[in-house]
Amino acid sequence: MTVYFIGAGPGDPDLITVKGQRLIRNCPVIIYAGSLVPAAVLEGHQAVQVSNSAELHLDQIIALMKSAHANGQDVARVHSGDPSLYGAIGEQIRCLKALGIPFEIIPGVTATAACAALLGTELTLPDISQSVILTRYADKTAMPQGESLGELAQHRATMAIHLGISNLGKIVAELTPHYGADCPIAVVHRASWPDQDWVCGTLSDIEDKVNAKGFRRTALILVGRVLGNDVFSESSLYRAGHAHVFRP
Tens-digit pLDDT profile for residues 78-99: 999 999 999 999 999 999 999 9
Least confident of 7-11, 125-129, 138-142: 138-142
Q: Calculate the average pLDDT of the chain.
A: 94
Residue 160 has pLDDT above 90, yes or no: yes
Q: What is the pLDDT of residues 186-237, one digit of tens each?
A: 999 999 999 999 999 999 999 999 999 999 888 999 999 999 888 888 887 7
- How many degrees, rounded to 5, is the angle at CA 191 between CA 185 and CA 194? 140
| Calpha distance 189→216 (Å, rounded) | 9
Superfamily of domain 3-106: Tetrapyrrole methylase, N-terminal domain (3.40.1010.10)
For 18-43, what is the mean pLDDT? 96
Using alpha carbons only, give the angle 115, 103, 42 rounded to the nearest 5 degrees.
50
pLDDT for the residue numbered 245 = 66
- Alpha carbon 28 to chain centroid, angstroms: 27
Cβ atoms of residues 111 and 187 within 8 Å? no
Domain 111-223 grouped into CATH 3.30.950.10: yes
Any alpha helices (H) in 110-217, and if so which ranges?
111-119, 149-153, 168-179, 206-213
Domain ranges of the chain: 3-106, 111-223
Backbone angles phi, psi at 198, to 5 degrees: -160, 165
pLDDT at 10: 95
Residue 219: which residues within 8 A CB-CB, separation 6 or more?
165, 187, 188, 189, 190
Question: Which one is predicted more confidently, 125 or 230?
Answer: 125
What does the DSSP assignment read for 194-233?
TT-EEEEEETTTHHHHHHHHT--SSEEEEESTTTT----P
CA neighbor of 116 nearest in space, from 237, 227, 233: 227
Angle between helix axes 206-213 and 168-179 (nearest 10 degrees) is: 150
Which ranges of 58-202 would DSSP assign to H, the alpha helix? 58-70, 89-99, 111-119, 149-153, 168-179
β-pair type (219-223, 184-189): antiparallel
Contacts of 81 (CB under 8 A, 6+ apart): 7, 8, 9, 10, 36, 87, 108, 109, 110, 111
Percent of the chain with pLDDT over 70: 99
Average the pLDDT over 130-147 and give the result: 89
pLDDT value, residue 247: 66
pLDDT at 12 over 90: yes
Average pLDDT over residues 15-24: 98
Q: With bands split at pLDDT 50, 70 and 90, how would you rate the model's confidence at 150?
A: very high
pLDDT at 14: 96
